[in-house]
Amino acid sequence: MLACLCTVLWHLPAVPALNRTGDPGPGPSIQKTYDLTRYLEHQLRSLAGTYLNYLGPPFNEPDFNPPRLGAETLPRATVNLEVWRSLNDRLRLTQNYEAYSHLLCYLRGLNRQAATAELRRSLAHFCTSLQGLLGSIAGVMAALGYPLPQPLPGTEPTWTPGPAHSDFLQKMDDFWLLKELQTWLWRSAKDFNRLKKKMQPPAAAVTLHLEAHGF
Amino acid sequence: MAVPVPWACCAVLAAAAAVVYAQRHSPHETPHVQYERLGSDVTLPCGTANWDAAVTWRVNGTDLAPDLLNGSQLVLRGLELGHSGLYACFHRDSWHLRHQVLLNVGLPPREPVLSCRSNTYPKGFYCSWHLPTPTYIPNTFNVTVLHGSKIMVCEKDPALKNRCHIRYMHLFSTVKYKVSISVSNALGHNATAITFDEFTIVKPDPPENVVARPVPSNPRRLEVTWQTPSTWPDPESFPLKFFLRYRPLILDQWQHVELSDGTAHTITDAYAGKEYIIQVAAKDNEIGTWSDWSVAAHATPWTEEPRHLTTEAQAPETTASTTSSLAPPPTTKICDPGELGSGGGPSAPFFISVLVTLALAAAAAASSLLI
């Protein structure tokens, strides 16, 4: 059972909303966030390859297609097509923020258990980049005036050693963590594309709005 | 004169046709359909007749040689495709039809080739299949699509019979899709399956309406425009990036440009006066693979109008009007003074007049010295 202590993340200081005159708006920071998801996705590809080889077969086989059991607390990127399309900006950003907060926490847990120094180094580097992505999303939310999601009191995730967790099941959890991370990064690229288009200058935004009715 | 003869002839022919028809379409006898494997041997019994019954076999109305018979049974060895046909055995003396067999020679199906592709992401994907070698007999296909443990419906394509379509219900799934196909015919069956992630099968259709145009007054430029494929449903949320390749027809080496957005590009390093072939491909910005290359566009960069040769008398007017509008050609040779004055007209007479003047001046000077 994956569970995590994430107090550090949940108490990130709220970034004040930018209100300077001549402010370019959230556009550049949305672009930056998009670019970060691409960078992370690229980084994850080599990291996941190395880690899955470390786990050994069948996890590193390309046809490995296990049923999704366990790992229920992992944030899932999968979403109904129409629901995804109709997400408002705040919800879209919030879902991304919450997902990466959890994923980062789990990744840090992975790092604690990793056997080789090289793996720990790669994981640590990835965690740092992922932290950067979180900060970037927080920046966009602040620029748009949305509050950062805070956990409800009493539901703060804490680390529990859990019942006797077999080696194989632990590896399955690791497998799903990496898979979910990769899928979230692909989803975020699409999320930020959608946000980018909506933040276009007003004239273009009106045209886009009219066209969007077709979908 | 000879009128009754043709009439009698027709009557005989009609009667013969009626007999043949009756024999072929005997009310109690419908052909037994039989499938046999190419290359094999088959023995066709004449219905329920005894082995030693006297029968004649025919195929598609043509008699078969008696050496193929084993008693009343027809033996065919090393079946070929040409052996397919309607076989009938008749009682030798009465020509009574005993039995008919519609023989179809074919092969059991080999493993089908199955592939799936999403050219309409995120709406859905399609799968298509075919057999690597023909079976020559009818086949039935059965496709099942599993997403994890959930069965999805694959709707048959209205036009193509070896294709079906699946609609995505959920996006960004970590669970793979498994598409299985089984094919069977009278001689055997086969099956195959493929498993893939949602993202790996994304491949747009090629860009449409690729047009290349020369740019006026620019001998090294070509302007290329295209449109996103009409099958891609949502280019706003799922933008495409493009890859352009171009070369002059006379060379084999392509040049490539990758473009992250926009549906236009200006080539600035075209060889002057050479016809170019240009193609564009598309890909989702983040996932999947490149489309096939688009239909090629052809274009030749703009070239200046060739100058026509003119007579001496006309030279000053024509050249005076052209020098002002033309940019100097890159291979401008050093002008000789004759061209400067009359702008490209023949220079010889001018030189001669200069020489004459100099000669006269020299002569005058010499004569003044002598005096």
The string of pLDDT tens digits covering residues B254-269 is: 999 999 888 999 999 9
The alpha-carbon gap from B120 to the nearest alpha carbon of chain A, in Å, equals: 13
The pTM assigned to this predicted structure is 0.73
The answer to ipTM > 0.90 is no
CB contact at 8 A, B248 and B278: no
With beta carbons under 8 A apart, name residues in chain B contacting A85: 237
pLDDT at B145: 96
Q: Is the pLDDT of residue B359 over 60?
A: no
With beta carbons under 8 A apart, name residues in chain B contacting A193: 237-239, 285
pLDDT at A72: 80
Among A61-75, A189-203, B338-352, B355-369, the minimum mean pLDDT is found in: B338-352
The alpha-carbon gap from B171 to the nearest alpha carbon of chain A, in Å, equals: 5
CA A134, A140, A144, A145: dihedral to nearest 10 degrees?
A: 40
Is the preceding peptide bond at A58 cis, omega within 30 degrees of 0? yes
Q: Which amino acid is at B236?
A: E
The mean pLDDT of A18-45, rounded to a whole number, is 80
d(CA B150, CA B159): 27
**pLDDT > 90: percent of chain A:** 43
The more confidently predicted of residues A44 and B3 is: A44
Kindly indicate the confidence band of residue A63, based on its pLDDT and cuts at 50, 70 and 90: confident
pLDDT at B291: 97
The more confidently predicted of residues A140 and B3 is: A140
Instruction: Give me the domains of chain A, ranges plus CATH numbers.
Output: 26-198 (1.20.1250.10)
Which of B122, B175, B239 lies nearest to residue A81, judging by beta carbons? B122
Which of B173, B176, B237 lies nearest to residue A194, judging by beta carbons? B237
The string of pLDDT tens digits covering residues B232-244 is: 999 988 999 999 9
The alpha-carbon gap from B225 to the nearest alpha carbon of chain A, in Å, equals: 21
pLDDT at A116: 84
Cβ of residue B32 closer than 8 Å to a chain A Cβ: no
pLDDT at B192: 97
Q: Is the pLDDT of residue B271 over 90?
A: yes
Q: Is the pLDDT of residue A114 over 50?
A: yes
pLDDT at A214: 45
CB contact at 8 A, B240 and B282: yes
Whether B174 sits inside 8 A of A63 (CB atoms) is no
Question: What is the DSSP annotation of chain A?
Answer: ------HHHHTPPPPPPP--TT---SHHHHHHHHHHHHHHHHHHHHHHHHHHHHH-TTTT-TT------S-TTSPP--EEHHHHHT--HHHHHHHHHHHHHHHHHHHHHHHHH--SHHHHHHHHHHHHHHHHHHHHHHHHHHHTTPPPP-PPTT--------S---HHHHHHHHHHHHHHHHHHHHHHHHHHHHHHHHTS-HHHHHHHHHHHTT-
Enter the DSSP assignment of B206.
P
The alpha-carbon gap from B198 to the nearest alpha carbon of chain A, in Å, equals: 10
CB contact at 8 A, B205 and B229: yes
Which of B148, B168, B171 lies nearest to residue A68, judging by beta carbons? B148
Among A126-130, B22-26, B222-226, B302-306, the minimum mean pLDDT is found in: B22-26
CB contact at 8 A, B259 and B224: no
pLDDT at B195: 94
Radius of gyration of chain B (CA): 41
Whether B237 sits inside 8 A of A193 (CB atoms) is yes
Cβ of residue A208 closer than 8 Å to a chain B Cβ: yes
Q: Residue A207: is it exposed, middle or buried by C-beta count within 10 angstroms (0-12/13-18/19+)?
A: exposed
